[in-house]
Amino acid sequence: MEESVLILSIGGGAGQIIQAGHQSYRESKQIQWASIDTDIADLDFLDGIVKIPLGIDWLPGDGTGGNSIMGAQSVGAHTNDIIELIKNCKTLVLVACLGGGTAGGGLVPLLKIAKKEKKPVISIVTTPLKSEGSAKTLSAEVTLEQLYALETPFVQIKMERLLEGGSSKQFDQALKFANRELSRSLFHFAGSILSTKGMKIKIADFRNLLQSRESESLILDIPFTGADLNLEEITNYFDAHPRHAQFLKKSHILLAILAGPNVPDFPLFEAMSNKVTNLGMDNAKSLFGIGENHFTKDPYLTIFAIHYDQNEDINDSSPWLNAPMNLAGEVHILDTQLSKTSQWESTSPLGVFANTMPTEYQGVNLDIPTFIRQKIIVPQPIIQEV
């Protein structure tokens, strides 16, 4: 069987990233895209992608409302479907935007399923914008702690950093840019794993580099003008993006992937590798690969930069740091009469959100699961052990 990589998203936010990648690289036969979610509307938005709706027998189909327990149960209830989905891939790349219920609760059970099936897996996770509220931030932190405890290799990316890469000041345009950049990086990463003519990145080598402790990452896609590789374009990029250059200088791990229609000769790639290595810390660990990509006219250099010291926070000048909460995505309020003092809320299973400041929108506490806000009685699911 031909070696393949499955890029699998869980939750609505990651589904948009998968959609962006599939639209650009759908002709690739060795790289497959798939998505699982509890929100049927989000899955309907995805075109031409393998999809598994989660919890359809006992959830109303419009998400978990931020309830990570329901997210975990929905994955467990579809263990057999997920095993069937991943059984033919050689390597699994999971994508999750943390902070919600489906991804926040379902990512760890999903990883356990992959581990039981002996699938090599790398997770790429994004953390929510601070403007999305304390509940989502706490949910993401809980999931990250579970990932550390599981000792599974993953790359953590702050959403603010992705948004800063674009030039647009409009949130929707910046988000589209971030999704395109992340999907392109995922594709190049998968291509380098599958590389046959260039330098192949072994998934075990990358896993061994990653450490199961608090980290932060930056993903860069540096385009070259024309088919010829001019190394000065790397310098020009970082001259134009000084904050990115500053991040690389304190990075502990650099994963560099050259992707394009033509594979360069080794001396040129070695010179490029040395140039990238010099951008990192003196003792930074580096891993380089080449992935042929016939879907772009010009070459791209993708860099995953990872560091393990989060004392420095996102710059206060970030336009997305204090953005209004409702800019983080369209919010649908189905029961605007529900107040934060209602009896319904006081008896709802807020889980880890019970002792946090509520995330409110138009007088409604969004920490309350959607199915509870709609007053839908949910039967208990039959959960398979993972």
> Is residue 230 a part of any domain in this protein?
yes
Residue 257 contacts residue 302 (beta carbons within 8 Å): yes
Pair 112, 244 in one domain: no
Pair 230, 147 in one domain: no
Classify the C-alpha dihedral 314-315-317-318 as positive or negative.
negative
What are the pLDDT digits (tens) for 260-318?
776 666 777 788 888 888 888 888 888 888 876 666 677 888 899 998 865 544 454 55
What is the predicted pLDDT for the residue at 331? 30
How many independent structural domains does the chain possess? 2
Domain CATH number, residue 42 = 3.40.50.1440
Pair 108, 230 in one domain: no
> Which candidate, 355, 330, 346, places its Cα nearest to that of 63?
330
What are the pLDDT digits (tens) for 179-236?
888 888 888 888 888 877 667 888 788 888 887 777 888 888 888 876 667 788 888 8
What is the predicted pLDDT for the residue at 49? 87
What is the predicted pLDDT for the residue at 6? 93
Residue 21 contacts residue 183 (beta carbons within 8 Å): yes
pTM of the entire predicted model: 0.77
Q: What is the CA radius of gyration of the chain?
A: 21
At 346, the pLDDT band (50, 70, 90 cuts) reads very low
> Is residue 287 a part of any domain in this protein?
yes
Q: Return all residues near 174 (Cβ < 8 A) that are at least 6 apart.
A: 163, 166, 168, 320
Cα–Cα distance, 304 to 165 (Å, whole number): 14
- Alpha-helical (H) ranges within the chain are 12-25, 40-45, 68-77, 79-86, 101-116, 134-150, 159-164, 171-194, 203-209, 232-240, 242-249, 266-277, 343-346, 370-373
Pair 130, 250 in one domain: no
Pair 17, 140 in one domain: yes
What is the predicted pLDDT for the residue at 262? 67
What is the predicted pLDDT for the residue at 65? 84
What is the predicted pLDDT for the residue at 380? 47
- % residues pLDDT > 70 (the chain): 73
> Which candidate, 63, 65, 46, 44, places its Cα nearest to that of 55?
63
Last residue of a domain, one of 100, 122, 152: 152
> Is residue 169 a part of any domain in this protein?
no
Give the β-pairing of 300-307 and 253-260.
Answer: antiparallel
> Is residue 175 a part of any domain in this protein?
no
| Centroid of chain to Cα 269 | 28
What is the predicted pLDDT for the residue at 280? 83
Mean pLDDT across the chain: 77
Please list, residue by residue across 125-137, b when 16 or more beta carbons sit within 10 angstroms of its beta carbon and e when fewer do. bbbbbbbbbebbb
> Is residue 283 a part of any domain in this protein?
yes
> Is residue 122 a part of any domain in this protein?
yes
Domain CATH number, residue 279 = 3.30.1330.20
> Is residue 80 a part of any domain in this protein?
yes
> Is residue 251 a part of any domain in this protein?
yes
Last residue of a domain, one of 265, 289, 307: 307
Pair 16, 133 in one domain: yes
Residues 323-337 have a mean pLDDT of: 34
Helix (H, G, I), strand (E, B) or coil at 290: strand
The encoded tokens of residue 161 equal 């950093």
- In this predicted structure, the answer to whether residue 161 has a pLDDT above a threshold of 70 is yes
Pair 114, 13 in one domain: yes
Residues 99-117 have a mean pLDDT of: 94
Residue 98 contacts residue 128 (beta carbons within 8 Å): yes
Last residue of a domain, one of 273, 307, 341: 307
Task: Give the structural domain span for 280.
Answer: 217-307
Pair 144, 241 in one domain: no
What are the pLDDT digits (tens) for 54-105?
987 777 777 888 888 889 999 999 999 999 999 999 899 999 999 999 999 9
